[in-house]
Amino acid sequence: MILKENVSEYQPKLIKKIMLTLCWILALFVSGAEVREIYLPGCSHVEPQIWYRAISDEEFVLQCALPDRDATHIYNNSLLKQHQVEWFWHQKGKEPLKAIKGSSNPALQGDALWFKPVRDNASGVYICMIREKIPCLKIVLEVETKKVAKCSGYDTNMLYLLAANGNSITCPGTKCYSHVKKTDVKWYKDGHQIKHRKSRQSLKLKPNEIYLNPTYDRDAGIYVCDYTLYDNTTKWTMRTAVTVEVIEKNTIHPPNFLYPNGVVILEAELGKPLELECRVQFGFERVSLMRVTWKRNNKENINEKLNQETSIYSKGLKGHTLLHVAKLKEVTERDLRSNFTCFAENSVGNATAVIQLKRKQRVFLLYVLCSAISTLFVFLLCTAFIYQHWIEIVLMYRSYLVHNETTGDGKEFDAFVSYAKLDSSESDSTLISEEKFALELLPDILENKYGYKLCILERDILPGGAYTDEVVTAIKQSRRAIIILSPAYVSGPSIFELQAAVNCALEDKRIKLVLIKFQAFQEPETLPPVVKKALRILPVITWKTSVSAAPNKKFWKYMHYHMPVKTTKMLGNCSLKGFFQRLFSLVYR
């Protein structure tokens, strides 16, 4: 019994010792992880290249850039992704090296490190690396208080400049280190160095300040001033920043209502949601006390809270415009009996405007339905008419409203006609009809009716030259090449004319090909690739022997459509009145 009691007393003490030992091991492991030093290969023997001094509790910026006397900027927010910057910090008098990650202070922006503000404990060595650009750069930063830096009459780092007036921006850091010899100040605005420009005569650079007369809205921004001071053998860059805002004089006017103006009656439908808009213009106030609210019957009822939202949609030096909206979930009879007052107030005074709701008369559903059906019917009718007669409409438009495209192009013929030539030994009736189409029917319609000038090799070109040269010359002198396709054409020597026409069209964009499928045919395997491609992609007009011969048939309208736009004898004296007469003739035909 005594043994059992001793064992039971010993067990809790043993467990307690084991747990304590485990906690110590875990604490040592965690603390070891915290103090583990970051090792940067290639950086251990690199000496610091830049030395900066800063005043504590002020805004400060460090750029990851090698020293350059001719540098024109001190930070770049548009750094490319492949050149990511890595920052490390060795705090003065402390170990180990720490990585600087994304935080609010200091903040990583582009290739720079921003301190907003910089604290006393920020002193130390900063190391930065940019992939493929800077392997290791060490920067020394020493932060001192105004007292240690012997600053007297230190100027503010936040300036409000009155627009259109003369103003000056003084470098705050020049009030410090009065016992040390300093160089002239170098100024930067929004990262870029400020230099005197002929285009901006109103900006003047003085030894320690910038003078602006007049001051513009675009002069607002962050100004950074640098100067060099020597402390023993060390060359320090003293850097301070000034934030500038450009303001106007405070307004002397109360708010101005853009909408509603006075009393406005607004139609509303019972049971439907409604938004009441109030647009108010406020003049500039440096310390703004503006307020906008909606009231029912000019009273603020604590038990009833209207759903209200405010947004600024126009802001500038002269002031800004507020849009204040009250949302009614559904309009009730009580809303129709109420006056909704928009109340606006600033430091000068206040103003009001009123919206009264009026019951909206319901629109008859049958009237809306009939109107919609009628509109749809007219739309479908017009679509069907245009689809049916689109070629005639295009031709009429070209005849009356489009200028003559053949004027001054230097070409002699409107179209070159290519067809299968009939040898004296051949007597196939199809070839005879094809030749008759090319030599008689085609010129009769296109030349006599529409006033075009065709080039038919046997008729218009004097014999004696080389056949190939004559064909190429005739095509180049024509605006179109009409190719009459048939089995005899694609398998005979005339196919050369098609190939020549394709080549000429590729050289001269004004030459276009018009393919007529006179008879069904199969493409021979021996056709040149350029001809095969032309037959596949170019538009083709099909000739139907029993239907297409009449002059008023669709075939000839398509031919006219593909021919050049020109003023013919038939259309020489047309007017707008004639255009509408022809259009109405299509409708009642």
pLDDT tens by residue, 450-488: 888 999 988 888 777 788 888 899 999 998 899 999 888
Q: How far is Cα 50 from Cα 149, in angstroms, rounded to an integer?
A: 19
pLDDT for residue 9 is more than 80: no
What are 562's two structure tokens?
Answer: 């593909």
* Confidence grade of residue 325 (pLDDT, cut at 50, 70, 90): very high
pLDDT at 44 over 80: no
Mean pLDDT of all residues belonging to the chain: 80
Spacing of C-alpha 53 from chain mean position:
42
Rounded CA-CA distance 14/6 in Å is: 13
Share of the chain above pLDDT 90, in %: 15
Q: 161-175, 211-225, 234-248, 402-416: which has the minimum mean pLDDT?
A: 402-416
Report residue 555 as tokens: 């075939």
The answer to whether 484 and 441 are in contact (CB under 8 A) is no
**Are 319 and 284 contacting, i.e. CB atoms less than 8 angstroms apart?**
yes
Closest by CA to 161, choosing from 209, 226, 225, is: 209
| Cα(465)–Cα(15) distance, integer angstroms | 118
> What is the Cα–Cα distance from 410 to 184, expressed in whole angstroms?
71
pLDDT surpasses 80 at 246: yes
- The answer to whether residue 25 scores a pLDDT higher than 80 is no
Q: Which amino acid is at 326?
A: A
Kindly state the tokens that stand for 471: 């064909």
| Inter-CA distances, 499 with 303, 505, 513, 536, Å | 89, 10, 11, 14
**Is residue 527 within 8 Å of 416, Cβ to Cβ?**
no
Pair 128, 139: CB distance under 8 Å: yes
pTM greater than 0.85 = no
Query: In angstroms, rounded to a whole number, what is the distance separating the alpha carbons of residues 587 and 575?
Result: 19
- Positions marked catalytic: 497
d(CA 294, CA 289) in angstroms, rounded, equals 17
